[in-house]
Structure 1
């Protein structure tokens, strides 16, 4: 009996869920480091003298590196061993977190954050590939429901956790605790990952080779696409020349497509399986996720900036406003993972309506209510948004991979994650630049509260636009499914 077959037989239900729990716990650490740093930004600015460009690199540099590494890491895991790639990613994440915690300057912190992003890019596609490998049918929907709940909790609890650590230490110690937290957690998780993750996996279709030229072109293309957005801060000092990187992206993309076609014509396996985009469910879900993830990280960053800078709310209390989002999204994510097999894309459409209502309520609260009532009203609005958000991520992920072969699970998940990271970079750039451009324009003309109300309103408008795009894609996809052009079941 082949190793892969033997592994499927002996891998019990209990062990599957234990392995899945370890994988999802590590995924939550990578998402926490995207969101919990947001609330520590004012302390980092003060401690290390970071300006707008450095702040953007600290936040979006992580996303940039994350996006560049995802697809080759997913492909390598599919071809060789997801387990080995996962363990290697954990070691890199541990070292990067340690370097962030002891960073003596903003330059070292930025470099360490980029290394952290690389480690997250190594880890996340293995989590998605392992989940698809471990579960089939309705069990996979439940697994992705739990995955979505954990990711939702991590995204929304991140600011609260970051604010708590900032408040526990002095100005130069509190933000460092945000990174120190990762060290004991990784040391705890590593031996369990080593023991529980499957040592074998189904053999990949086609030749087991890694397209090094295609990998380099893909990485350079993703870098050229994301970099101008990462360098956008809303400051008057932003260099317009950064947008020339988009022309570089177009040139690299053309070279990449030509190379991949030639590679495939030679009978070899390309780094990106373009046939995946012929799968309607996968393509639609990937576009939807890109638009949705353009909105959500920017939502939490601009919310905490408004509460801290506009209302002078301490970091820990600013972070607590997102707790209702976390709790609601966890509940609805868990249950939506159970019902997506029955209701399909309709679950996502309803969820996006809730997100739009909640985010609109948060902006209205900031503009219309007295300052003392704003945090409470925003918490209620975030509860509504979280209830909707939990019905978006997990069902959409399940629908995305429903028709994807298990042997392509890692690379398919990686491509989707690249879309999410590109969306995050674009969303952060658009919302943060709208926020700070308003501050630079109005500072000194109006009171502090009015300036930051206007900044949050403008950023909120950008965020709602991205969620609206996701909603339109979901409705179009739902109609296609009801017309029978796309399967509407997992």
Structure 2
């Protein structure tokens, strides 16, 4: 199946600057994904510096995630059609401008608006990175490149609280939050110059006709579906009552309508926004499902752990970031290693990673239960390291396996769909785990108990991803055995 879909690989000529170009992509990818988590520890500083309300702070955090997820798929499709270098540079420019505007914000409203725009820019950039990796690399090199990208995802997620804590420590409580945004500006400017010089222009053989490419009804249906799906999740703590969950019904209707519309587009010969035939690739469809469920579990660890140690144990922002550093170290090392061997081991490597993640998260629960006070950070260091190793062995190999058979001309949209699933998983996981976490605090006022119950829920979600991986692996073995028996 792979050869039929990726026939253009036969004419592939390695770009001598591909590793330098990858470096630019990773820096930008790190910067955009870092802004998902770095702001969490800056919220008290924003509250003090701008007089922001709880609702304002919620939109500073969730608004970025919302617009980020909303623009992933359309941006991936545009990158496939118009060229990823051009869209990359447009997204990077918007990200730098909006980061500077966030830093200069004089009131909560302007900060929220520019934070939403910053999320749009992040959603434009991220699918271009996975698409450029597909374009620049083949075979084992692609696995290594995706390994580095996955390490970047893991590090950016885990190191965000640490870097945010350092910047606030240097900049002061009242204005330190501004440096959380300003730090993106010089990095972004340097990355723009490097991207202009190093990223490849679109090869002529991969160009697609511009006319009729963008499918506006499809964009509106999908955008509305993703928006109404994510909104009640990211606002579940701020919007009281259960009426907000009716938006999930609206989301389901819009997404079903989107699928019917896309199939109609294919029948009449018009290019769809999302090529639904991608899901006929078993490696891609299973990989998307595992990513969705896994991100629902693992990203919530940072959310509840940071709240627990800062508000429950009195850690500073810097101390909270340091406490999560073992996870970042384990994830970075394992992702790099996993990217090197994924082509030899396959989906089994993802299963090993999921087992490690479950063991590490269970170990973190036990360690937090046995320790007390500031000793919790030391007690949870080893199990968080194990969980980080597991995460590195999941994200990198799963990303590589999921996109391996995807044709280069669909790499941007395929990456956008996969990462939209990750964002939906993260939002759903935080909604579920957060509800368990805050319910325990409301009932008992016990932060330790709340953390243990919340992390147990997150562990259960990762265990579901493990079950999906095992079902896929056993199914693959049965099919291989049946094929071998039939050939005898």
Query: What are the Cα deviations for residues 279-322 of structure 1, in whole angstroms up to 9, with x where unaligned?
Result: 11000000100111112222112111111111111110110111
Extract unaligned runs of 5+ from structure 1: 444-450
Q: Does structure 1 residue 231 correspond to structure 2 residue 235? A: yes
Extract unaligned runs of 5+ from structure 2: 1-7, 482-488
How far off is 1:48 after superposition? 3.7
CA gap 1:53/1:477 in 2 versus in 1, 3 angstroms? farther
- Paired residue for 2:34? 32
d(CA) in 2 for partners of 1:386, 1:254 = 36
- Paired residue for 1:446? none
- Paired residue for 1:413? 415
d(CA) in 2 for partners of 1:288, 1:257 = 21
- Paired residue for 1:304? 306
- Paired residue for 1:460? 455
Q: Does structure 1 residue 210 correspond to structure 2 residue 214? A: yes
- Paired residue for 2:441? 439
d(CA) in 1 for partners of 2:210, 2:37 = 39
- Paired residue for 1:280? 282
Q: Does structure 1 residue 399 correspond to structure 2 residue 394? A: no
Once the two structures are superposed, the pairs formed by residues 310-389 of structure 1 within 5 Å of their partners are: 310-389=312-391
Native 8 Å contact 2:45 2:175 kept in 1: no
Once the two structures are superposed, the pairs formed by residues 65-144 of structure 1 within 5 Å of their partners are: 65-144=67-146
d(CA) in 2 for partners of 1:357, 1:147 = 24
How far off is 1:54 after superposition? 3.5
TM-score, normalized by length of structure 2? 0.92
d(CA) in 2 for partners of 1:452, 1:169 = 29
Which deviates more from structure 2 when the two are superposed, residues 76-85 or residues 144-153? 144-153
Please give the secondary structure, in 1, of the residue aligned with 2:393: coil
Query: What are the Cα deviations for residues 18-76 of structure 1, in whole angstroms up to 9, with x where unaligned?
Result: 11110111011111111111222233334344454433322222111111101110001
d(CA) in 1 for partners of 2:256, 2:366 = 44
Query: What are the Cα deviations for residues 399-449 of structure 1, in whole angstroms up to 9, with x where unaligned?
Result: 101111111111111100110011111112222233233333334xxxxxx
CA RMSD of aligned residues (A): 2.0
Native 8 Å contact 2:353 2:393 kept in 1: yes
Please give the secondary structure, in 1, of the residue aligned with 2:206: coil
How far off is 1:94 after superposition? 0.7
Native 8 Å contact 1:232 1:238 kept in 2: yes
d(CA) in 2 for partners of 1:63, 1:253 = 19
d(CA) in 1 for partners of 2:113, 2:439 = 26
Native 8 Å contact 1:156 1:323 kept in 2: yes
d(CA) in 1 for partners of 2:256, 2:19 = 42
How far off is 1:205 after superposition? 6.6
Native 8 Å contact 2:315 2:374 kept in 1: no
Equivalent position to 1:250, from 224, 249, 252: 252
d(CA) in 2 for partners of 1:332, 1:404 = 24
Q: Does structure 1 residue 190 correspond to structure 2 residue 192? A: yes
d(CA) in 2 for partners of 1:186, 1:192 = 10
How far off is 1:461 after superposition? 2.1
- Paired residue for 1:478? 473
Please give the secondary structure, in 2, of the residue aligned with 1:172: coil
CA gap 1:370/1:305 in 2 versus in 1, 3 angstroms? same
d(CA) in 1 for partners of 2:477, 2:464 = 20
Please give the secondary structure, in 2, of the residue aligned with 1:390: helix
Which deviates more from structure 2 when the two are superposed, residues 408-417 or residues 358-367? 358-367
Native 8 Å contact 1:39 1:305 kept in 2: no
